[in-house]
Amino acid sequence: MHIVIIGGGFAGINLAKALTNQKGITVTLVDKNNYNFFPPLIYQVATAFLEPSSISYPFRKFFAGKKNLQFRLGELIKVIPNENKIILNNGELSYDQLVFATGAETSYFGMENVRKNAIPMKTLNDAIDMRNTLLKNLEKAAICNDIRKRRKLLTIVVAGGGPTGVEVSGMFAEMRKSILIKEYPELDTSASNIYLVDGGEALLSPMSVASQQDTLEAVTKLGVVVKLNTRVVDYKDDTVFFADGNTIQTKNLIWAAGVTAREFEGIPSESYGRGKRMLTDAFNKVNGTTNIFAIGDTCLQVTDINFPQGHPQVAQVAIQQGLNLADNFKKLLENKNLKPFIYKDKGSMAIIGKNKAVVDLPKPKMHFKGFIAWMIWLFVHLMSLITYRNRINTFYHWMIAYFSKDQSLRMIIRPDKRIKEEII
């Protein structure tokens, strides 16, 4: 059985790992990048507290020595289901079973100016671009004598009150207090503001009320201006426009407000549901197909009695679906009954700043905050990294940052061909 996996995120890589050295099964993982990366720590690369290699690892190195696993660099163009074939931008592949683990991409809710001008927070490339953009704006502000222009360069608006928005705004607030004053003596940091805006009534809306209240209190104490029930409707001419008519002048709108899945040519339109996610049965088989599966963020599965509207688009769902599907592929070879997917909720968490985090555990129902929650967050995220090398590297940088309240990774790195056009 030849299984082709499209996408090497949490879902795809865990499916491939679980099928390592499985007799009768060969796996080809296809990804447009040649590396796996850890999205929950993207913001720490973007804020220069981790280097990209701390949260990423090459697929080919990871697959080395695993005889039944292969990697193919490429981007999916279309599927031809009646021929069991996919077309890539650099060739084609045949399959016996096809698995979509393509995750989700940033959604701008149809706002073209936001798409063009905001700073996304979804991929490793986004993180590096964001780091470069913010560092360049700091350098511009350091030599700017116009207080209004300087304020726009220093002001940061983070759209989206989920874990990413909370974590990145908290990180910026701590950097403003401990780093900018030392490294940019030319700047009056009082001219800067950090806004965290969300269209809902609370930060971290999927978490407990206790976590929401603790988070609001913690980020506010850090100096972040939180604006709830505030929806972005446009961003142009260095101005963020809100639905209530208010505006904020800034050159830094960080977009962490929404995600959407992707549609692919060859997959029937009736196989898609809310947010362009593929509708699947209890075994993750895409509706209207015979040997095509979807797992992770790109999957909308409404057969789980505990999640009739579909599972949340979080890492644990992707990991568990990948492992369950791997087990079912093994059962297929042995002509055994397949196991329906049932999500085991292990809780949710978010870090706010140094020694500040919130954690909700479902069974038993418990809520943690402060230092204990912060330690839980660090441990879970450290152990979730794909290799020991990533864990050691990340732990090393975290310890430096913890004891020094700083990091030395704030370099603007860009290809030579772009330097001339990007010089400030």
Tally: H helices and E strands in the chain? 13, 25
- Nearest Cα to 318, choosing from 373, 365, 259? 259
Q: Which DSSP category does 82 fall into?
A: G
Q: Which two tokens stand for residue 371?
A: 């230092």
Q: Give the C-alpha distances (Å, rounded to integers) separating 391 from 26, 44, 53, 168, 172.
A: 29, 14, 11, 21, 24
Q: Which DSSP category does 109 fall into?
A: T
Pairing verdict, β 156-159 and 194-197: parallel
Supply the angle between the helices 388-404 and 370-384 in degrees, to the nearest 10. Answer: 150
End-to-end CA distance of the chain: 55
Q: Which DSSP category does 5 fall into?
A: E
- Catalytic residue from among 92, 105, 139, 167: 167
- Nearest Cα to 11, choosing from 256, 257, 261? 261
Q: List all residues 6 or more positions away from 169 whose beta carbon is below 8 Å from its beta carbon.
A: 156, 158, 194, 196, 219, 224
Q: Measure the CA–CA gap between 414 and 208, rounded to whole angstroms.
A: 41
Q: Which two tokens stand for residue 251?
A: 């050159």
Q: Give the C-alpha distances (Å, rounded to integers) separating 84 from 80, 140, 143, 228, 285.
A: 6, 54, 59, 48, 15
In this structure, are residues 77 and 88 in contact, taking their beta carbons and an 8 Å threshold? yes
Q: What is the DSSP string of 129-140?
A: HHHHHHHHHHHH
- Nearest Cα to 72, choosing from 50, 94, 51, 52? 94
Q: Which DSSP category does 74 fall into?
A: -
Residue 174 appears among annotated catalytic residues? no
3-state secondary structure of 199: coil
3-state secondary structure of 19: coil
Catalytic residues: 167
